[in-house]
Amino acid sequence: MCERGSQCYKRYQEWENNEEIQIFREYLRIPTVHPDVDYDQCVEFLKRQAEGLQLPVQVIEVNPGKPIVIITWEGTDPTEKSIILNSHTDVVPVYAERWSHPPFAADMDSEGRIYARGAQDMKCVGMQFLAAIRALKRDGIRLKRTIHATFVPDEEIGGKLGMKEWVHKESFKQLNCGFAIDEGIAGPGEEYPLFYGERSVWHVLFHISGTPGHGSLLLKDTAGQKARYIIDKLMDMREREVKKLEDNPELTIGDVTTINITMMSGGVQSNVVPPELMICFDVRVAIDVKHLELENQLLDWCREAGGGIELEYDQKCPFVKPTKLDGSNPYWVAFKDALDELGLKVKPQIFPGGTDSRYIRGIGIPAIGFSPMNNTPVLLHDNDEFLHVDTYLKGIEVYKKIITNVANC
């Protein structure tokens, strides 16, 4: 074996034998995958992690079969507001035939890339939180504020039976949370994306009634004519948002309202004009858009189209104030100081999708989404999702500093 080959082999063996990498890969091998998630194996794994950390753990179920695991590291002053380190245990479905490695094998290639569903979204973050705590405890460090590492279910399907309900329960209030850290997204360049707010998710269904009849006629006020009007109005609005994004390189996708047709249905036969059509739009409402004005605009378009259109909201998230990134937020000051001390470049922005942070912010608790993965292709929900070993291990060091700062502020 050549010298370079020998060095590569030695490095690979070091990765293989690293305790934190072994724990991470074990977690990735637990297939907590939708649509039918079995969380039992995951809960037992997390209980073992708590035991190894010599920390108390509790498991609660706001909804049956949807366990929330809480691992607590008590601070020197438990009366102070606590810090929540939140992650979700579920992952999205896979198309295994499109992967170069089995998606739940957590294979590591010779370059140090670990392939698995959840490698980026977001089993990495949950284990990095615990690894940071393990390192701090090993160093004999005690933090002022209590830390709660929370592992929640069903985030990938909106968190309706997980965080959304839990934040309103007594078991959450008892955590006495003052600040939360949750997931972010990988960054392909040197900068780390950092998220302080989210757009509001609206899934709008237009049930459009019109004149039915034979397909050979030119009937007035058909559902198709009305549907065209609604589609034109919303797609024109979409184009304005596209232009806004193109004209300002400082904006990210989270700064604009996105509009997409996601479902269309109706009709019974190719030569019959249907009495009703349904069109569904996925609308992610930018934080600077007034919700009442947008809803009134949709209603106006329904009337202008000819009436007979019923609006249904499959999901209609309210406006949630973003977390303040200024001197009025002591947690952010401590967080930012940690980033500066580490020499990390971050780009604060609005999250393009939805995370459980919106429910935490919704009850008035500041939250930041941050996954320490830079120089990494964005592969969440994609085939061959992977994370490099060195990126994972560096992330542990990053969280050590951040957690120490915010827990001692």
> Any idea which residues carry the catalytic annotation?
90, 155
State the Cα–Cα distance between residues 294 and 209, nearest whole angstrom: 22
Q: Which residues contact 314 (CB under 8 A, 6 or more apart)?
A: 203, 204, 205, 280
Spatial strand order in the sheet of 67-73 = 57-61, 67-73, 147-152, 82-88, 177-182, 367-369, 192-198, 346-351
Using left for φ > 0, alpha for ψ between -120 and 50, and beta otherwise, residue 204 falls in beta
Residue 8: CA count within 13 A, CB half-sphere: 9
Q: Are 349 and 308 in contact (CB under 8 A)?
A: no
406 phi and psi, to 5 degrees? -70, -30
Q: Which residues contact 256 (CB under 8 A, 6 or more apart)?
A: 241, 244, 245, 286
Query: What count of other Cβ atoms lies within 10 Å of the Cβ of residue 142?
Result: 12
Sign (positive/negative) of CA torsion 58, 185, 253, 247? Answer: positive
State the Cα–Cα distance between residues 97 and 159, nearest whole angstrom: 28
State the Cα–Cα distance between residues 288 and 319, nearest whole angstrom: 10
Nearest to 112 by CA among 2, 24, 30: 24
Q: 3-state DSSP call for residue 51?
A: helix
Q: Which helix (H) or strand (E) holds 202?
A: strand 200-209
